[in-house]
Amino acid sequence: MPVTDPYAVLGVSRDASADDIKSAYRRLARKFHPDVNPDDPTAEEKFKEVGEAYSILSDPERRQRFDQYGVTDDSGMGGGGGYGPGPGAADFGDLFEAFFGGMGGMGGGQANFSRDGDDLRADVSITLRDVLTGCEKPIKVKRTTPCTHCGGTGGEPGSEIKTCDTCNGQGAVRRIANTFLGSVTTTTTCPTCRGTGKKIEKPCSKCQGKKVTVETADLTVNIPAGVQHGTTLRVSGQGGAGIDGGQPGDLYVVVAVARDARFERDDIHLYAPLDITFAQAAMGDQIEAESLDGTVKISIPRGSQPQAEVRIKGRGLPRLRGGARGDLIYVLRVKVPKDLSQERAELLRKFAELGNERIPEGDGQGGGFLGGLFGKKKK
């Protein structure tokens, strides 16, 4: 619904100053804001009316036109198009200010259209040994950084930065669409200045007005002991640069733990195969074996069976949040000799005999079973 007398709506006199108009508008906008009057359906109507009146009186051209011709709308002017802000374009920022300007630290009256930087991802590969000790890894990150030439303003140093004509520096434009539900007002970011409210006369020669440039940063990331394969570490503030005062993004480092040739990981425990002889398995032994950090003494119990596990407490991996290390578990692999000398074969037969076991027909020599049986002459 068109406003017929914006002065009456705002309750100001014809010769009211711009400041008077602004403060009257703020007072009324607060009073009639739909959020403040959820139960009063007329409040929203009043709120819109106040906004419309202010958009007329805050625009010197429109105010003058009203004073002169008594019209409040472009449509009455015929061919009067072409001037910057459409109806109501001016009031977004002021509305913002009306509600937030007095409370927060914004004060300046300009809505904040800063843009935060992008979050980025980097991948890093580490070894099991790194998981044990923690490590520092150098990584390269391609990211945006504030342009050093223009200091992030986007304008060539020394050139002027003006107020955007499209949105009058408000950073947003309001559109009124007529639908079957009535007119619907939407506020969108100004397409000309993309919300900054500023117009750069001469774009920065280095960043072409983008305010940021792309760099490849050499960073060092601290990887704590105990990380898992796939653990994601957040490095705060090391992502893309924020624009117009926005916060920088974060860097997410995804850790891959390379497979180890000797040790298999199960959470904080490590498994490793350990080859022993039949004699060691049968009689027991004290040996040394490599762990992830130095050698360990291992007691092979007498009568160990294949796949038996020997557990070394506290020689596995740490947890990410500290505490005792896991265990290192050796899985015994009993090696069976493949080629026996005659003497050893003789002893094994004797061994079987003494144990009341069946005496093998093979002799453990030459090309397999048949070869053993028929291919060689016994002495």
Residues of this chain that bind Zn ion (CB under 5 A): 147, 149-150, 164, 166-167, 190, 192-193, 204, 206-207
Cβ distance to Zn ion smaller for residue 163 or 236: 163
CB of 238 to Zn ion, least distance (A): 21
Residue 90 CB, shortest distance to Zn ion, in Å, is 12
Closest approach of Cβ 167 to Zn ion, in Å?
Answer: 3
The amino acid at residue 169 is G
Q: Parallel, antiparallel, or unpaired for β 198-200 and 295-300?
A: unpaired
Side chain identity, residue 226: G
Nearer to Zn ion, 61 or 275 (CB): 61
H/E element, 62 = helix 60-69
Residue number, 129 or 162, with CB nearest to Zn ion: 162
Rounded to the nearest whole angstrom, what is the least distance from the CB of residue 87 to Zn ion in the complex? 16
Residue among 28 and 204 whose Cβ is closer to Zn ion: 204
Length reported for the chain: 379
Q: Measured between alpha carbons, how far is residue 41 from residues 33, 36, 225, 254 in Å?
A: 11, 11, 61, 53
Q: Which CB, 144 or 166, lies closer to Zn ion? A: 166
Query: How far apart are alpha carbons 111 and 101 in whole angstroms?
Result: 9
**Strands of 69-203, DSSP E:** 120-126, 135-146, 161-163, 172-179, 182-189, 198-200
101's tokens: 């300007």
- Please, what is the minimum distance in Å from the beta carbon of residue 113 to Zn ion? 9
d(CA 375, CA 165): 103
Q: What are phi and psi of 213, to 5 degrees?
A: -125, 165
